[in-house]
Structure 1
Amino acid sequence: MATQTTITDLTVNSTTHCYQLTKDQMEGIQNKGATTALDKGIYVIRIKDGAFDYVKDANEVESEPLVMLWIYGGKFKNLKTHKQVSAGWSTLNGYDDTVTLAVSDPCKLCAFFFDTEIKDNAGDVIVSVVKVDEYREFN
């Protein structure tokens, strides 16, 4: 029996579907997250080890390696998008996911985690930030 493929396209509008963070919330993220400075160079960022457990429940056996990244305060190019920006978001979803940045003007990398209930969380995620080369232009 053949499998039927269904495609659903979601259009995410930049104003209608934007959850706006206030200045105070952005400062809160920057103060709460694990932060490091990135000098000029090429960096590969990935989850090296660990995972977050959300619920203390005998049926909940899986943990999730997931981290949000907020990069700000300089200029960089995410080599997946090839767009140079002064601030941007990315995620690391699992151990095989990477973000590669070409930092042309020193910036900060802030790694953090969103959740609605902090009291039931457990675990750590180790994010590896490896400078692999000096800065150079990428097209």
Structure 2
Amino acid sequence: MEGCTVTDLKVDSKHNCFVLDAATMQRIQEETGVSTTLEPGTYIIRIRNGSFNYRSDVAHSGEPLVMLWMYGGRFINKKTNVEIEASWSTLNGDDDTLTLEVLQTCNLCAFFFDTYLEDNNGEVTISVVKI
């Protein structure tokens, strides 16, 4: 392909890991995030509406983005087909979805992070549909 450039980034599980300690995880679960319990079954999770605007420039449109932390039971993320007890995921945009097959009751925690809180505004509504 003419004009095509490929750059590979190798992410090492130890050297490129930003570790969140137990106190930070507890604060995300209990103070920062909004949570729900997922009983066994299949769920489709998506952003229904909204966005976060994290710039003081009102001409800048917000971004539909949210972090998801699933923990406390067994489930399968259908994008990876791996059975796990805890995992992270993101929803990026209105068309992005996450499908979980919950095997044991678990928790779903949703939140947003940024480097400067003072200019943030907006909210995102997440739909958690059991099918």
Q: What is the TM-score when the length of structure 2 is the normalising length? A: 0.96
Aligned counterpart, 2:5: 6
| CA distance in structure 1 between the aligned counterparts of 2:38 and 2:2, rounded to whole angstroms | 47
Aligned counterpart, 2:44: 44
Structure 1 residues 37-76: Cα deviation after superposition (integer angstroms, max 9, x where no partner): 0000000000000000001124x42210000000000000
| CA distance in structure 2 between the aligned counterparts of 1:13 and 1:42, rounded to whole angstroms | 32
| CA distance in structure 1 between the aligned counterparts of 2:66 and 2:46, rounded to whole angstroms | 9
| CA distance in structure 2 between the aligned counterparts of 1:57 and 1:49, rounded to whole angstroms | 21
Pair 1:76 & 2:78 matched: no
Aligned counterpart, 2:112: 113
| CA distance in structure 1 between the aligned counterparts of 2:121 and 2:90, rounded to whole angstroms | 20
In structure 2, the gaps of 5 or more residues are none
| Secondary structure, aligned partner of 2:45 | strand
Identity of aligned residues (%): 52
Pair 1:65 & 2:43 matched: no
| CA distance in structure 2 between the aligned counterparts of 1:129 and 1:12, rounded to whole angstroms | 31
Q: Which structure has the greater CA radius of gyration?
A: 1
Q: What is the TM-score when the length of structure 1 is the normalising length? A: 0.91
In structure 1, the gaps of 5 or more residues are 133-139
The residue identity in structure 2 corresponding to 1:51 is: S
- Cα deviation for residue 119 of structure 1 reads 1.2
